[in-house]
């Protein structure tokens, strides 16, 4: 490709709306342009980078025995009515009517459509296992699209769906996808961790997220320094501390005046205890119902754990005025004793002895509160946010918290969708059985952004070679000099003939701005044809990641550089699990 003829509108300034580095660099590098909120055009180099991700995904999915198909993006409402999800989703599901007034939605995912294919075309256990996948544009009407390709409303997803005769066989399909994902993200040159995840509302009983570690990730992970345990904090189980039963005598439960003391720390200070000895009572709305959630004073509630324990579709912390309106309880003085609403306690609270808690009376707290004697929760469970002080649930080692960008998510679906859509196959005994399914997603466009989050420096992107839109850029620094230009052009043609993706910078620009653009675009290999060639017949090679530069005799350059690029590509393709 000749730079002078390409649409690569690089810019020096950083657009104000771009908050994260990948969004800034994708805009500055002329890789994407915003059409409107959450909708982006992939300009030529942006599309080329995304297609590198797609081809790695396609190779590994095919290697795993999956078959590629392409389903419609527009989906008829009746399939979603059959699965019961038409009403389940709010405005995030973009719905519309066609000219015949029939209801449709833009596909945010394709469980219903693929299950409909299965029920029509898969009839016998002999046809199983089967894994069908597509790489396709999805639409989810996010309320606040931001971070460019990281959270767009329209995005490119690889979504795969497996069909098996039994849970055991479905486990094998799941494992195959787990391994394929590991290969995919390794080949993309990403530092990632598979983590146990909360399977959320799609009802699967088991799932793993694949997280690219990066500070701007929207998910918080807990990872162990000693073993390969990793989990989304929404799911990470807390090992109950083995607090030996204290021999403390149980005090009487006494009401004390705590005027204006609403916060745990203030009450603890005022009463001369630590927050660890205070029971914190938070009022949540679980599907609209108020519940009182108890955690130790120095802990935080993990709301996804609460949601899962209550099997609620939605839980949220009640605003202060809602608390008063719904419960007539004085915010800041709420406690578990004689409270007129459902009590849910974190397991740790039940070990507390002689604790402080709100008295459910303005300006008053209780001391000497003992769980089991003074209150009995309707439910107890692991509800609190894990901390780095907690031991690794697997090996007891030290935990650390880090941010991650979810680039993949795989789920065991069981028979949720096959039962809802009466999608069955005939088993060995001739009986009709519902397919046991799994579904597997990769955010293809998000992988490009995540790769940039993890691979950039002050000069711009540092593409991992497998994802680079072009592998080499050839800079001609003496455009006016016919010999130099002829040499540069020949080198460009030879490198292209060697099968490499080459960008030839033939623009009439100063060397400095060519160097800046090559760095900004993150192109792994930069070859310069200029003075050094004119004087000594040498070209300069510079590696973007390390900054290492070397000179190569012109007539060896194409062969040597092609060999280097091929060698590096092969090393990324050889992935041992
Ligand atoms: C919707 C809307 C948004 C959604 C969904 C449905 C997420 C929805 C979960 C999945 C699960 C897997 C197959 C590929 C991998 C992910 N957001 N999910 O089902 F209607 Cl508006 O999509 N699907």
Segments in 10-76 forming alpha helices (H): 21-28, 44-63
Q: Ligand 1: does its nearest atom lie under 6 Å from the Cβ of 89?
A: yes
Under a CB-based contact definition with an 8 Å cutoff, are residues 391 and 239 in contact?
A: yes
pLDDT at 259: 93
> Is the C-beta atom of 140 inside 6 A of ligand 1?
yes
Q: Return the ∠ at Cα 454 (arms to 160 and 471), rounded to 5°.
A: 80
- Contact partners, residue 315, CB within 8 Å, separation at least 6: 284, 285, 286, 287, 303, 306, 307
* Answer CATH for 254-381 from 3.40.50.1820, 3.40.50.300, 3.90.960.10, 1.10.260.40: 3.90.960.10
Question: What's the pLDDT at 218?
Answer: 85
pLDDT the model gives residue 181: 98
Q: What is the pLDDT of residues 538-565, one digit of tens each?
A: 999 999 999 999 999 999 999 999 999 9
Residues of the chain with pLDDT under 70: 198-205, 243, 245
User: Is 367 in contact with 356 (CB distance < 8 Å)?
Assistant: yes
List the chain domain ranges. 3-237+400-453, 254-381, 470-573
* Burial state string for 311-326 with b = 16 or more CB within 10 A and e = fewer than 16: ebeebeebeeeebeee
Span from the CA of 186 to the centroid of ligand 1 (angstroms): 25
409 lines ligand 1 (CB under 6 A): yes
DSSP 8-class letter at 362? T
Write the pLDDT tens digit of every residue in 313-323.
899 999 999 99
Classify 3-237+400-453 by CATH class: alpha beta
CB 287 within 8 A of CB 318: no
Does domain 470-573 correspond to CATH entry 3.40.50.300? no
Mutate to test the pocket of ligand 1, among 160, 202, 205, 441 (most ligand atoms within 8 A of CB): 202
The answer, yes or no, to whether any atom of ligand 1 lies below 6 A from the CB of 159, is: yes
């Amino acid at each position: 490709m000749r730079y002078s003829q390409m649409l690569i509108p690089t810019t020096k300034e950083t657009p104000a709306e771009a908050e994260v580095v990948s969004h800034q660099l994708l805009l500055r590098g002329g890789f994407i342009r915003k059409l409107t909120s959450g909708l982006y055009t992939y300009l030529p180099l942006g599309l080329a980078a995304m297609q590198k991700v797609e081809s790695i995904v396609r190779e590994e999915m095919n290697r795993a025995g999956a078959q590629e198909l392409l389903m419609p993006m527009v989906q008829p409402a009746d399939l979603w009515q059959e699965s019961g999800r038409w009403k389940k989703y709010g405005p995030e599901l973009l719905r519309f009517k066609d000219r015949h007034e029939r209801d449709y939605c833009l596909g945010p995912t394709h469980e219903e459509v693929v299950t409909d294919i299965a029920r029509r075309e898969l009839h016998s256990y002999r046809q199983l296992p089967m894994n069908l996948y597509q790489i396709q544009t999805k639409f989810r009407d996010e309320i606040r699209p931001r971070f460019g390709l990281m959270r767009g409303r329209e995005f490119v997803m690889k979504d795969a769906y497996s069909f098996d005769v039994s849970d055991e066989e479905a486990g094998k399909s799941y494992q195959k996808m787990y391994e394929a994902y590991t290969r995919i993200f390794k080949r993309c040159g990403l530092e990632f961790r598979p983590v146990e995840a909360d399977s959320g509302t799609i009802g699967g009983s088991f799932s793993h997220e694949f997280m690219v570690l990066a500070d701007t990730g929207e998910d918080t992970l807990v990872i162990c320094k000693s073993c390969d345990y990793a989990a989304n904090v929404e799911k990470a189980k807390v090992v109950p501390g083995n607090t030996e039963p204290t021999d403390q005598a149980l005090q009487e439960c006494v009401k004390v005046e705590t005027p204006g003391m609403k916060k745990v720390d203030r009450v603890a200070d005022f009463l001369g205890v630590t927050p660890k000895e205070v029971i914190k009572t938070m009022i949540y709305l679980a599907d609209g119902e108020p519940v009182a959630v108890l955690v130790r004073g120095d802990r935080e509630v993990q709301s996804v754990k609460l949601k899962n324990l209550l099997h609620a579709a939605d839980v949220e912390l009640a605003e202060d005025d809602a608390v008063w309106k719904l419960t007539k309880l004085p915010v800041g003085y709420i406690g578990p004793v004689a409270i007129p609403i459902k009590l849910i306690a974190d397991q740790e609270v039940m070990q507390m002895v002689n604790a402080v808690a709100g008295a459910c009376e303005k300006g008053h707290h209780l001391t000497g509160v003992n769980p089991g004697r003074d209150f009995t929760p309707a439910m107890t469970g692991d509800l609190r946010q894990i901390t780095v002080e907690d031991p690794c649930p697997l090996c007891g080692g030290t935990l650390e918290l880090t941010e991650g960008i979810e680039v993949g998510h795989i789920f065991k679906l069981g028979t949720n969708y096959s039962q809802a859509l009466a999608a069955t196959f005939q088993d060995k005994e001739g009986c009709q059985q519902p397919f046991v399914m799994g579904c597997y997603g990769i955010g293809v466009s998000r992988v490009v952004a995540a790769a940039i989050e993890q691979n950039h420096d002050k000069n711009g992107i540092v593409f991992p070679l497998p994802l680079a839109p072009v592998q080499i850029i050839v800079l001609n620094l003496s455009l006016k000099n016919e010999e130099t230009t002829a040499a540069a052009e020949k080198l460009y043609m030879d490198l292209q003939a060697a099968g490499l993706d080459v960008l030839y910078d033939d623009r009439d620009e100063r060397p400095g701005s060519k160097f800046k653009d090559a760095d900004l675009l993150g192109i792994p290999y930069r070859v310069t044809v200029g003075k050094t060639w004119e004087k000594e017949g040498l070209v300069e090679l510079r590696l973007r990641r390390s900054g290492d530069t070397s000179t190569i005799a012109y007539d060896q350059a194409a062969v040597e550089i092609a060999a280097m690029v091929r060698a590096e590509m092969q090393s990324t393709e050889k992935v041992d699990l």
